[in-house]
Chains A and B, each alone.
Chain A
């Protein structure tokens, strides 16, 4: 059982710095070998988690949630009031989404999500976070210079638009509901979902009419 001893862990990290192999692949192999030897994990289950988050769970789920919110006003109302219950209807409630909140972009508001203290992310609807979301450059600047950050993603926000940055400091997780592009009134949910980029659900993309059909 853990003793919750911070000093001991700081000392362990110093020793690991000296003793672990430098190569990441060898480090993770060493960890897996020890845990399997000790009966703490089953390697086949690791395979299954990798496949689940490569094939089944990813931003296509979030895109489906967004497309349904655009198409179905009752679903949207539920999503805004009780997002975990709404995504559970689609079978997408899961890891890190039991306290999901949805924040909506409008003509006057743009939302951007970050976790400055670690890398919190709504896994069961967006999958594995992109590398930039977990990197120091994004985590440090999103709260201080969101307009500069967005410009690096090719997104230029008019000064009249209010930017709301959501720093995920608790167990709440945030999903941005992007604006439905003009001229999509005839589209069904599947086609609409194809317009929704992963970045638009984090807030580093805004105008989905500008680049239709992108995968992310």
Chain B
């Protein structure tokens, strides 16, 4: 979607707040939200649907509220949409009596168990598919000039641009459909773009931007 989240190349966001602070969390609630996002059970959800629900946050909230706060709002939205919690419960601030979705709530996990669980979260998204990849390394390609409606991972700044296939990564879950709950694998490539082909003001001809793009975002760029 052509939403507020698609920030690459946008102007006006000012200087970067460079803070040399190694703390992972700066408020207790940031850690709580991180933990909730790691251990909450969300049946049937996909990472791309969750990302899309974050993109759908109203622009003033997306830009104006803190980062982990936007995770929490995304969690609220995905749980409500899936029917696991209701807007009434959010407004009331408590669950309806006896409304537990699981007969057996999850047992507590220790730090050691969580470290093992983190290892279990090394999810792979690739799979073998029948069709051969359409493009080969070194080939010139042209990206689609239109984004897909809904969730997509071809940013606006790289649409309708010429690039070169830098690497091929096998077939990965296609995010546009994964955000609709459909698991379809499609060939994935790293495409290099000359910075001078992306940005009118760039003078340094050497600089490049690399994006990982699915085959249906691309066409042959020779012609």
Contact = CB atoms under 8 A, between A and B. Distances in A.
Interface size class of B (residues with CB under 8 A): 35 or more
B211 A169 contact: yes
Contacts of B73: 13, 16, 20, 27
Interface stretch (A73-81, A123-131, A178-186, A188-196): A123-131
Contacts of B218: none
Interface in B57-95: 57-58, 61, 63, 65-69, 72-73, 75-85, 87, 89-91, 93-95
A138 B16 contact: yes
B80 A12 contact: yes
B19 A132 contact: yes
Interface of A: 1-6, 8-10, 12-17, 19-20, 24-25, 27-35, 37-42, 44-59, 84, 91, 93-99, 114, 116-119, 123-124, 127-128, 130-132, 134-141, 143-144, 146-147, 149, 152-153, 159, 161-172, 198, 214-216
Q: Which 7 A-B pairs have the closest CB atoms?
A: A116-B8, A46-B35, A44-B108, A39-B105, A170-B212, A37-B95, A49-B35
Interface of B: 1, 5-11, 13-22, 24-29, 31-36, 38-41, 43-45, 47, 49, 51-54, 56-58, 61, 63, 65-69, 72-73, 75-85, 87, 89-91, 93-95, 99-102, 104-111, 113-115, 118-119, 121-126, 150, 153-155, 157-158, 169, 172-173, 175, 179-181, 188, 190, 192, 195, 198-199, 202, 204, 206-214
